[in-house]
Structure 1
Amino acid sequence: MSTSTTTTAATTSGSTPPRVAASWAAGGYLAIFVLAVFANFLALSPVIHPGDAAATAAALQDSETSFRLGAVAFVGIFVIDVVVAWALWVLFRPVHRDLSLLSAWFRLTYTVVLGAALGFLYAAIWLAGAPDAFGEANDDAVLLALQTFDFTWVAGLAAFGTHLVVLGVLLLRARGPRWIAWLLLAAGAAYAVDTVAHLLLTDYEASADLFLAVVAVPSVVGEMSFAVWLLLVAGGRRSAPSAHPEPSRAHTREAV
């Protein structure tokens, strides 16, 4: 059976071609990158002032519009991540179906946690504009809601990090770019370490910049490089991932 006949049969049966899945995954990665930069660094981070509830509440009130847009960006990430999880499962299932499914489940777990965490952003917006039972500002409650969102998101990133580790293993098995695979593995481990640090360190904020660098460097470089590789696969400049079985012992003896 020719390659064209096989592709036609796969398309007719309703399965998505790997290059189409790669294009969806690449587009999703690029969209998430843009939305995440806006939501986290331009809308959320300028508002939170750890240890200063009054300043946090005031910053939220002063930049409520951009904060709401940041929340909408998080909703976009929540939706797009489901598409990316599906596309990567389709792309890597020829390599190892079970590992590809496991990778997708870990990413979906992170996505569900992020969706649940968005409720705390809404709570912060509502509390910032509503006085408490005694007519006082809800400054402490606003800060607590934002910090709860932040940690809930961080907890979900532990699952996302595990997804990256499994994805790195799949890329190695598919004989893709090894340096990208190792960056994904490093980024996944960094996410897990950061989540544990949030729980174990009594003064995490004192080391927050260090942990941000540890997570951001392999994550940004690795995931963006992976997105570029996906674009090359989608455009036909790189072969789609496929299984590469190890040579049998008989073949090895013959080679020797």
Structure 2
Amino acid sequence: MTASETTRQPIRRAGLTAGIALLAMAVVSGLANFGVLETLVTEGDAERTVRDLREAEGLFRYGVTGFLLAALLDVVVAWPLLVYFKPVNEGVATLAAWCRAVYGGVFIVAIAQLAAVPSLLGGTGVLPAEVLSKINAFDDIWKAGLSLFALHLALLGYLAYKSRYVPRWIGVLLVIAGLGYLVDSLGVLLVPGYSLDVAMVTFVGEPVLMIWLLVKGWNVAVHERGRGPSRPGS
């Protein structure tokens, strides 16, 4: 095996690992959020929310578990993304990894609010407002933590744009996605009654990166003499 091939292997493994982890995270978080939380929680209606949660408490517990798995994957995926983008700028790649790992920790704190809900449902004197308060606390903590996730995406976008092995347009999409999450996160903190969801329009950068890593991004070549990765055949 040549020196070039030896250098190439960690990049390839990191790209594939990151793609798989991002895909798994997208599936479990999507099911937990849209398949469970969005169907069982009625915003502003605590009585109906408690009734629906009691009727589907098992499903709700699976949803909380799905969120927890997604948060753990957020922490896990920080490492292969660091390895993948380290050749571009080690300092920026490390900062991006830490932002994602810490965001994962904040997400777990938010999920702890949801984890307390089943015990409230089992009580004899359950207060619907208290249950809805826990769910709202989860949402508030999660959205506040999205500021870290936004910075992570913006840094990844910079790294992708500056690299010679990720298409620049993916870098642009990642920066746009990061800005969308940042607007929503700051909006919740600074604007009373903030109801926009900018990230629903700008989020596409990360799924595009995921697909690219799974289809093509793991197969980057590495020039000899430490000149860094490039597209295959370059």
TM-score by length of 1: 0.81
- Which residue number corresponds to residue 47 of structure 1? 40
Kindly report the root-mean-square deviation, in angstroms, between the aligned alpha carbons of the 2 structures.
2.0
Query: Residues 24 and 83 of structure 1 are in contact (CA less than 8 Å); yes or no, is this contact kept in structure 2?
Result: no
Rounded Cα–Cα distance in structure 2 between residues aligned with 1:95 and 1:117: 33
Partner of 1:216: 200
One-letter amino acid matched to 1:17 = P
Identify if the C-alpha distance between structure 1 residues 181 and 198 changes in structure 2 by more than 3 Å, giving closer, same or farther.
Answer: same
- 2:115 aligned partner: 122
SS in 1 for 2:39: coil
CA distance in 2, matches of 1:36, 1:240: 34
Alignment of 1:121-140 (within 5 A): 121-131=114-124, 136-140=125-129
* Mapping 1:169-248, distance limit 5 Å: 169-175=158-164, 176-204=166-194, 207=195, 211-212=196-197, 214-219=198-203, 221-231=204-214, 232-234=216-218, 236=219, 238-239=220-221, 243=228
Partner of 1:100: 93
Long gaps (5+) in structure 2: 230-234
Instruction: Give the match's secondary structure for 2:184.
Output: helix
Match in the other structure for 2:232: none
State the Cα distance separating 1:146 from its structure 2 match.
0.4
Separation in 1, partners of 2:191, 2:86: 39
2:143 to 145, 151, 154: 154
Tell me which amino acid in the other structure corresponds to 1:218. T
1:89 corresponds in structure 2 to: 82
User: Computing the radius of gyration over CA atoms, which structure comes out larger, 1 or 2?
Assistant: 1
- The answer (yes or no) to whether the contact 1:161–1:191 under 8 Å persists in 2 is yes
Alpha-carbon distance, 1:165 to partner: 0.3
Q: Percent identity?
A: 37
* Structure 2 residue corresponding to 1:168, chosen from 139, 157, 163: 157
| Equivalence map 1:35-74=2 (5 Å) | 35-74=28-67
Distance 1:81 1:7 in 2: 29
Shift of 1:46: 1.9
| Aligned residues of 1:19 and 1:240 also touching (Cα < 8 A) | no
Aligned partner (choices 69, 91, 106) of residue 76 of structure 1? 69
One-letter code aligned to 1:158: S
Query: How many pairs are equivalent?
Result: 224
